[in-house]
Each structure stands twice: as structure tokens, then as C-alpha cells.
Structure 1
């Protein structure tokens, strides 16, 4: 049984990777961005046609998109992700340098969003129709309809510009290597991007938790516990947490795609040196190898989150459907 499950998951992952890379190359083929012009930069007018052709041949840009896809696939089968034109180093090295920052940002924001979202949803359900319920629900809908980049800019204006409590951008002070700064300094630079990213994924957790808690509160076993004098804390501990926290966790694991999409915007606005910011730079510069490498990592990351959500749902929530 486990072998069958692992085999199916592997087959789905491989099919997903093939489709993702294929569509990515098609989008690159119709993109108006010319990688050679970006690579040449200010020297565009000083190079002759022969020099441009020779440079294109050296970079492999004189080939059709089909030939480039075949060559890239062959190198990928050998474990080679290619060479980044933008950063002038192997793609694998770029990913190794920047993926830990993205992982730290997404992990912190994912945890913060889950804890705060579940707590607010629990309070809204326990205080149904009260001022707290109306305040939390309206705030949730406002966050759900607010563009993430606008929210990030508001956070920068309030906490970095006006109050000067937190840094404006980056993962370390300007001119310093993030790997050589104290952890406290790194945390200070992480706070605003983490809050911005967490707020963008907060609404589904709050609304889903509120709905689930209300269902549990209306169940027979909770009414039975109340009739026998069980306190509100006891009901929360023995009934609500067990029946509402797991669905919230499964739902949050299934939102890895939205998490990475939000991290792209957050890293771009805050100039945070992670994979999201690197993906934008790769797209703007037409860096095919780097763009495809990050696309592969992203697809595996999202597939892992969805697979974990499916496993938790199958083992802990058999027969239940999650609403998002």
C-alpha cells in the first residue's frame, strides 16, 4: 500500500515538473525580453553584428526554444541546472545562497499566520455576534481584499519611515553580508516581511476556523459536556482544539502555492534576498537557466505542501472536505 502511494506521488510529481518546465519555456519563447540585450547592457551600441552573434553562440541564445529546452533537459538529467547570466555563477549556487532566506521567511510567516489566524477564528466563534466577532470578521474581509504589495508599503511607511522602529528593507544592514550579522539583527530585518506575508494568508484560516468551531460548539457531545458542568476552558481543550486545529493545519498546508506567491511580492517590496526576489530578477533579465531552476524548486516545494495536506486529511480527517 505504501509503495503504491509513493509510486503515484512520484508519478504526479514528475508529470507536474514536466508540464511546469514546458509551459515555462513556452512563456519564455513569447516573452518580449531579449536576454542578449540585457547581458550586453550599455555596450549594446559598441558591439558589431559579428560580435553579437558570437556572444549569442557562446551563451546558447542563437538556438531555437525547442533546442534550448532539449539541451537544458539533458543537462538537468545529469544534475546540472545551468549557468546564470544575471549572477554569473551556477544556478545551483544561486539557489543554495538564497533559498535559506526564503525558507526562513516563509516558515516564520506560515507559523505566525497559523497561530494568529486560528486564535482569531476561535475567539470570533466563542464570542459569536459580539463586538469582537464583528471586529475580527470585518478585519478579516478587509485583509482578504487588500493587495499584498499595498499592505507591505503601508507597513514600511508606518513602522520604518514614521516610527523608525524597524528597518526599511533587506535581510541585513546595507553593505553587510547577511551571513555575518548577528541573529538579532537578522530578526529585525525579518519582522516586516514576515508580518506582511502572514497577513496575506490570514483570512482563510480565520474564516475556516470560525466555521469549524461553530459546528463543533453545536454538536451533541459539546452540549452534553456543558450539561455536566464542564468549563469553557475544558471544552476548548478537549473538544475544540482536537476537532478544529487539525483542519486548519491541513488547510494551511494546502496553501503553499499562495505562500510562495506572496513571498515573491514581499521579497520584491522589501528587497529581501530570497528566491522570490531572485525569480523576479531572472524574469526581467531573461535568465532562462535561473528561471527554470527556481521554477523546479518552487514546483517541488508546492507539491510537498499539498502532499502533506493530503496525507493529514486522509489519516486524520477521513471523509471530510475542506472549504477554502
Structure 2
């Protein structure tokens, strides 16, 4: 089984690498097809009109205007493989340095949201499944259906208006207090500024895990071994601890890893609403400013995070349910 599992992981890694390459090509093609003029977007029409032809030619060379797209992509790919992500045209810094700062901000936000949504979704799913047909079951199902149809950016705006504008108990944006040096920012400051965006992401990520766990718990509660345990007098927390927790946790955990893509996709909109300086906001700025090196690096990193989460979920699912493993019947 270990040999087969290693082969399965190897195949998934090869598939993930091919998908990342395809994502980079698609991102590059979309950037080249964009109607945005990088010079006008970043220099301005008025400033561009006051420049000499020599200055314009230097800017064109800097932004890669007029260079063959195939040559541009191949040059970028070879440099990227060697570890050189290039220089951001907007930030005037190495892309690796920009990514390092933005990634830490996004990971800080997404890990909190991912953990909260998993715990809350599992708890609600278990509570609903163990009380099937009762008022609390209907309440959880209604909440999940409502949240699943609610856009993340709309929920972010709503929470921003309530807690940031009306009640004024939480900050309306950014990841750190305004006017405070980086050395003076504490973990408490970062947590305080991450409450609203993390809460938005966690709320929108609850529904799938809760509904899936509910169906799993219903199946567990109808099983023969649970009916036998009930006949012996087990109920409530004791019944869940002895027979429900392990059987419901692994499938929920597997689904939760697959939901990384949803958390990551939602973070782009949420970061824009809260002006949170993460990868999502940097990706929007790079796209609008035709910052090819930065956007390509963000696309590669995003693909690795999303495909990596899906790969872990797929592998975990194969471990949890041996029936889907090739050769498992033997």
C-alpha cells in the first residue's frame, strides 16, 4: 500500500506541475491580450506627452513593449526556473521581496479564516446531523443555504458598514494601524485588523463543510453500530465521542483541504474591500498596471496553493476511503 501511495503522490505531483505550467501560459496570454497600455496606465497620458522620444523608447524597453510574446515568455520562464522572478515594474523592487511581504499578510489572514471555517462548519454539521428534523437542523440548513448564495464582497461591505462605520468597534481597513512603524506593530494589532476580513472569509466558507458533515453524521446515526450503542444507553456527547467524531472528522478534513481554493479566491475580493495588502490586492494592482513579472509570480504561487490543497485533499480521501485507490480491491 505504501508503494502504491507513493506512486499516487508522484502522479499527482506531475499533474500539478503541468497544471501550473498551463496556468502560467494562460496568464501570460491574457496579459498580452489586455487592452491596457502599460505606459499610459503607470506614467499617465499627460506625462507621456511631455517626454522626449528617447525617454519613451527607454520606457518601452523597460516595460517590454514591442518584444516578441514568445521570447518574453521563454525569457521569463528560464529566469523563473533559475529562481529569478524579475523586478516588479510597479514597486521597483525584486518580485521575490514583494511576494514575501504580500504572501505573509495573505497567509496570516487565510490561515485564520480557514481554521475558523473548518471548526465552525464541523460543529454546525455535527449539531445539525445529530438533531435531524428538529428546529436546530432547519436553522443550520437555512443558514448554510443563505450564506452559500451570498457574494463574499457583499458580505464584506455589510460587515464593514456595521462594525467599522456604524459601531466603530473595528478598523475599516489595512493590516496595521496607520502611522505606526513596522517595528512597532504588534501581533495584537495584526489580529485586530484581521478580524473583519477573516470573519468574512470564514463565514462564507462554512456552508460546504457544514452540509457535508451533516450528511455524514446522518449516515453515522443511522448505522447499525450507533443503533446498538443507543440500545446500550449511550446518547448525546458520549455517543458522538465514541462513534461519531472519528468517522466524521476525516471526511470533513479532506473536504476542508479542497476548500482552500474557495478561501483563496474569496480573499482577493475581501482584500480589495478592506484595503488589506495581500496577494489579492497585489494581483489586482499588477493586472491593472500591466506588471507582468509580479502578476506571473502571483499566478504561479496561487496555482501552487490551490492545486496543492486539492492534491492533499485527494490523497487524504484515498487514505480515508481505500475503495478509490487503484488496486484496493486486491
**TM tier, shorter chain?**
over 0.9
Q: Distance in 1 between matches of 2:290 and 2:108?
A: 27
Comparing 157-166 with 34-43, which one deviates more in the overlay? 34-43
Partner SS for 2:132: coil
Runs of 5+ consecutive residues of structure 1 not aligned to the other structure: none
> Does 1:117 find its partner at 2:121?
yes
Match of 1:30 among 33, 41, 61: 33
* 8 Å Cα contact 1:253/1:309 also seen in 2: yes
> What is the Cα deviation at residue 284 of structure 1?
1.0
Following TM superposition, where does structure 1 have runs of at least 4 consecutive aligned residues deviating by more than 4 angstroms?
Answer: none
The match for 1:143 is: 147
The match for 1:15 is: 18
* 8 Å Cα contact 1:171/1:178 also seen in 2: no
The match for 2:328 is: none
> What is the Cα deviation at residue 320 of structure 1?
6.4
> Does 1:167 find its partner at 2:171?
yes
Q: Distance in 1 between matches of 2:183 and 2:110?
A: 18
Match of 2:253 among 221, 243, 249: 249
TM-score (ref. length: structure 2) = 0.93
Question: Deviations 1:160-203 (Å, cap 9, x if unpaired)?
Answer: 11111111111111233455312112111010000001111111
1:189-228 to 2 correspondence within 5 Å? Answer: 189-228=193-232
Comparing 139-148 with 125-134, which one deviates more in the overlay? 125-134
How much is the aligned-residue C-alpha RMSD, in angstroms? Answer: 1.6
Count of residue pairs the alignment pairs up: 321
1:45-124 to 2 correspondence within 5 Å? Answer: 45-124=49-128
Q: Distance in 2 between matches of 1:250 and 1:93?
A: 33
The match for 2:132 is: 128
Match of 2:264 among 260, 267, 273: 260
> What is the Cα deviation at residue 51 of structure 1?
2.6
TM-score (ref. length: structure 1) = 0.95
**Aligned CA distance change for structure 1 residues 135 and 179 (closer, same or farther; 3 Å):** farther
Question: Deviations 1:182-234 (Å, cap 9, x if unpaired)?
Answer: 21121110100000011111110111111110011001000010011113212
Runs of 5+ consecutive residues of structure 2 not aligned to the other structure: 326-330
